[in-house]
Amino acid sequence: MGSIHQALLMRRVVSAYTYPAGSVFSWGRNTYQQLGVPSYSTMPSPVVIIPISGSTQLSASRSSSFSINNGKIYAWGNGSSGKLGLGDHYSRHYPTVVGNKTNWSIVRAGENHSAGISAGRIYTWGDNTFGQLGLNHTTMVYSPTMVGSSSSWDGIRTGSTSTVAISVGKLYAWGNNSYGQLGLGDINHRSSPSRVGNSALWALCRTGSYHSIGIIGGKLYSCGKNYSGQLGVGDVVSRSFPTLVGGLNSWTSVSCGRTHSLGIAGGKLYSWGANFFGQLGVGNRYQYVNPIRVGSLSNWSNAEAGWYHSIGIAGGKLYSWGRGDLGQLGLGTYINRSQPTRVGNLTTWSKIAAGWLHNLASI
């Protein structure tokens, strides 16, 4: 039965030429079948994931993927460390429902741990070596487990081995703090949510491999590892507390990759940090320690930084740039690009999620 189902699924993927609104696509590396299709082959172009549609949120990590559909979390890909939240450490090649909740609003995939919000409550699962689950211990957890007792959480992000979350404008962080990425003024790890500073005006916060960036009143603040200038503060000195980035006060979005960052201000896209593969999208491979504008478009609505690549949406069109040797740019090739390059010809892209070497997107 399983092989028949897989054959049917692949046939439908290959033969689907019209895509209804809500269709979810994936492309890039597929070593753990994190693309959600019955194959281990790399996919250099977007393929539609048949079992799910109408996703309200997508998230991708090193080798796993998540989607929220009708309030349910679906997980697939690498299941080691229990990061899929399915009660075991086995991988899944198809989207599988996590638990029995039907009111999930957010799901986030870290390197080996994951988190979600249901009815204002945070749940975490997976690897917990640095206390990144926020459960006041460092034991691995295989199923979603509630963090504390608060029901006022409205945002959360998972980095490689750390987590940040916002509750009523207050920022909290926990997990790995080797480079000060928690923003707590030191480099000590935390195993439970710890408040960052005293501001109650945080609009959002993102965390990458070892750095974090957030927004207060349209202004950008960053902390953590800065060896490649990924903090955007004009130098390569790491910071253990949130530090103002430049002088713009119209930032609406930000994303942290491994060693580079992306941000949107007034519809314009900016990038900074490492640029070995052209992941900054500015037409060269020079490192930048301050935000630099990417191209001339002024209608960017979303941008996500992967490991060494980037993807973004402008005017409903999907673009990618940076490292492409494993098909992660979705351009049908395996070459790098140093400028945003359009992916396909659809003009209705709405959501994206950049993993380390694969991506998810929906229309």
Q: How far apart are CA 323 and CA 33, in angstroms?
A: 20
Length of the chain: 363
Q: For the segment 301-360, what is each residue's pLDDT rounded down to a tens digit? A: 999 999 999 999 999 999 999 999 999 999 999 999 999 999 999 999 999 999 999 999
- The sign of the dihedral angle between the CA atoms of 336, 341, 344, 348 is positive
Q: For the segment 107-130, what is each residue's pLDDT rounded down to a tens digit? A: 999 999 999 999 999 999 999 999
Q: How far apart are CA 219 and CA 203, in angstroms?
A: 10
Residues paired with residue 18 on neighbouring β-strands, in sequence order: none
Q: Which of 114, 121, 188 minimizes the C-alpha distance to 157?
A: 114
Q: Do 164 and 154 touch, CB atoms closer than 8 A?
A: no
Q: How far apart are CA 179 and CA 242, in angstroms?
A: 12
Give the model's pLDDT for residue 17: 54
CATH number of 2-9+21-362: 2.130.10.30
Give the model's pLDDT for residue 11: 34
Tokens of 334: 């395996």
Does the pTM of the predicted model rise above 0.85? yes
Q: How far apart are CA 67 and CA 59, in angstroms?
A: 6
Q: Do 77 and 84 touch, CB atoms closer than 8 A?
A: yes
Which residues does 265 contact at the CB level (< 8 Å), separation at least 6? Answer: 218, 248, 250, 251, 252
C-beta atoms surrounding 224 within 10 Å: 30
Q: Which of 164, 52, 63, 162 minimizes the C-alpha distance to 117?
A: 164
C-beta atoms surrounding 186 within 10 Å: 12
**Domain parsing of the chain, residue ranges:** 2-9+21-362
Give the model's pLDDT for residue 4: 30
Q: Is 208 left (phi over 0), alpha (psi -120 to 50) or beta?
A: beta
Give the model's pLDDT for residue 38: 86
Give the model's pLDDT for residue 50: 81
3-state secondary structure of 32: coil
Give the model's pLDDT for residue 15: 38
Q: What is the pLDDT along the chain (363 residues), one digit of tens a residue?
A: 333 334 334 333 333 457 888 899 999 999 999 999 988 999 999 999 987 888 999 999 999 999 999 999 999 999 999 999 999 999 999 999 999 999 999 999 999 999 999 999 999 999 999 999 999 999 999 999 999 999 999 999 999 999 999 999 999 999 999 999 999 999 999 999 999 999 999 999 999 999 999 999 999 999 999 999 999 999 999 999 999 999 999 999 999 999 999 999 999 999 999 999 999 999 999 999 999 999 999 999 999 999 999 999 999 999 999 999 999 999 999 999 999 999 999 999 999 999 999 999 999
Q: How far apart are CA 257 and CA 279, in angstroms?
A: 10
Give the model's pLDDT for residue 18: 73
Q: Which of 180, 191, 192 minimizes the C-alpha distance to 149?
A: 192
Tokens of 82: 């229990």
